[in-house]
Amino acid sequence: MRDSDARLIEEILRLNRERNAVILAHNYQLGEVQDIADFVGDSLELSQKAAQTDARVIVFCGVHFMAETASILCPDKIVLLPDMHAGCPMADMITAEGLRQKKKEHPGATVVCYVNSSAEVKAESDVCCTSANAIRIVEKLADSREVLFVPDQYLGHYISTKTGKEMILWPGFCPTHIRIKAQDIIRLKQEHPWAKVVVHPECRPEVIALADEVLSTGGICRFAGSTEAEEVIVGTELGIIHRLRKENPNKRFIPASEQAVCPRMKLITLENVLWSLEEMAPEVKVPEGIRLRAKAAVDKMLEVG
Ligand code: 13P
Ligand code: SF4
């Protein structure tokens, strides 16, 4: 490690204590950002941590919808997102107005909203889900009403195949996960015949069809620790490889595609984390009217866990 990085880290950790802050980082963050975080996890785990923390400030190292979810759950805390440009392009593929129009076409449908969405879209939804609990949530919808699933068509399609529930799908997608191609997995399986293949449910259906396991990023980390396989082909964003290698030094993790990089996740750096703690900015705050309606959908999700 360079001397300048060591000084930067020392200063971040000092200010983190001084401000009574907690640093939460998503599994796709840069390795050096994951390393200074108090907790690293998937979207569900991070929202659960945010809901439980008694810190006064949450420094969210992830993308905008994740910081917004923390703000929805913790209105009395200061939620900082070190770079406001760190948005999720999939979340931007649907607006509250677009969803209102779709609801008019399907009156009475239950709206299930992937947490990768804005607070305004959550406010228009009945229940949220993450990739970790999406199947459980849809299975829990005991009534036989139509389900409108937004905004990820591939996650929606995957849940539909697992639950047998037909759903109306919004045509959103993750620009990072669609870069992973079936051909990548087929080639890697030939090169590593003993490897297990684990992919994220945002991948294309033909990629999912080739996988041994389809899991959230947190699920991928747990699978990596428990599998007997020595080699694992990993079909998700490249940032997760840092954590997998750190926690499992005796196993080999092979990225399904070197193209699977989420540029917005990489906008968070040690420098802007420090700046954010110094300035106590930029803050993510959801207007109260929207927050209360969005919280109802997030709470319903957290009840299921
Ligand atoms: P996880 O909830 O599995 O961490 O996924 C979040 C995400 O943005 C995947 O692209
Ligand atoms: Fe959004 Fe995809 Fe990036 Fe996840 S990887 S934050 S879904 S663009």
User: What would the DSSP string read from start to end of the chain?
Assistant: --HHHHHHHHHHHHHHHHTTEEEEEETTS-HHHHHH-SEEE-HHHHHHHHHH---SEEEEES-HHHHHHHHHH-TTSEEE-S-TT---TTGGG--HHHHHHHHHHSTTPEEEEESSS-HHHHHT-SEEE-TTTHHHHHHH--S---EEEESBHHHHHHHHHHH---EEE--B--TTGGG--HHHHHHHHHH-TT-EEEE-TTS-HHHHTT-SEE--HHHHHHHHHH---SEEEEES-TTHHHHHHHH-TTSEEEES-TT---TTGGG--HHHHHHHHHHT-SBP---HHHHHHHHHHHHHHHHH-
CA-based nearest residue to 12, from 32, 41, 40, 42: 32
Please say if the pLDDT value at position 143 is more than 70. Answer: no
In the reported structure, the alpha carbon of residue 93 is separated from the centroid of ligand 1 by a whole-number distance in angstroms of 16
Pair 219, 133: CB distance under 8 Å: no
Q: What is the pLDDT of residue 200?
A: 98
Ligand 2: does its nearest atom lie under 6 Å from the Cβ of 24?
Answer: no
**Ligand with minimal distance to 174 CA:** 2
Q: How confident is the model at residue 142 (pLDDT cuts 50, 70, 90)?
A: low
For tokens 């659960």, the residue is: 48
Ligand 1: does its nearest atom lie under 6 Å from the Cβ of 42?
Answer: yes
pTM, rounded to two decimals: 0.97
Q: Atom 6 (ligand 1): residue with closest C-alpha? A: 43
Pocket test for ligand 1, best of 48, 130, 131 (most atoms within 8 A of CB): 131
| Burial class (CB within 10 angstroms; exposed 0-12, middle 13-18, buried 19+) of 142 | exposed
Any bridge partners for residue 234, and if so which?
Answer: 198, 255
Ligand 2: does its nearest atom lie under 6 Å from the Cβ of 257?
Answer: no
pLDDT tens digit string along 195-253?
999 999 999 999 999 999 999 999 999 999 999 999 999 999 999 999 999 999 999 99
pLDDT tens digit string along 161-180?
999 999 999 999 999 999 99
CA 249 to chain CA centroid, Å, is 24
Ligand 1: does its nearest atom lie under 6 Å from the Cβ of 216?
Answer: yes
Q: What is the pLDDT of residue 5?
A: 84
What value does the mean pLDDT take over residues 30-51? 96
Pair 199, 236: CB distance under 8 Å: yes
Q: What is the pLDDT of residue 144?
A: 63
pLDDT tens digit string along 67-109?
999 999 999 999 999 999 999 999 999 999 999 999 999 998 9
**Ligand with minimal distance to 265 CA:** 2
CA-based nearest residue to 204, from 241, 244, 156, 164: 156
Please say if the pLDDT value at position 16 is more than 70. Answer: yes
Q: Atom 6 (ligand 2): residue with closest C-alpha? A: 88
In the reported structure, the alpha carbon of residue 265 is separated from the centroid of ligand 2 by a whole-number distance in angstroms of 8
Ligand 2: does its nearest atom lie under 6 Å from the Cβ of 63?
Answer: yes
Ligand 2: does its nearest atom lie under 6 Å from the Cβ of 98?
Answer: no
Q: How confident is the model at residue 2 (pLDDT cuts 50, 70, 90)?
A: confident
Atom of ligand 1 nearest to the CA of 215: 3
Please say if the pLDDT value at position 4 is more than 80. Answer: no
Q: What is the pLDDT of residue 173?
A: 98
Q: What is the pLDDT of residue 1?
A: 73
In the reported structure, the alpha carbon of residue 102 is separated from the centroid of ligand 1 by a whole-number distance in angstroms of 25
**Ligand with minimal distance to 220 CA:** 1
In the reported structure, the alpha carbon of residue 43 is separated from the centroid of ligand 1 by a whole-number distance in angstroms of 6
Q: Atom 7 (ligand 2): residue with closest C-alpha? A: 174
In the reported structure, the alpha carbon of residue 89 is separated from the centroid of ligand 2 by a whole-number distance in angstroms of 7
The full set of domains in the chain, from first to last, is 3-88+265-285 (3.40.50.10800), 91-170 (3.40.50.10800), 177-255 (3.40.50.10800)
pLDDT tens digit string along 250-298?
999 999 999 999 999 999 999 999 999 999 999 999 999 999 999 999 9
Q: How confident is the model at residue 43 (pLDDT cuts 50, 70, 90)?
A: very high
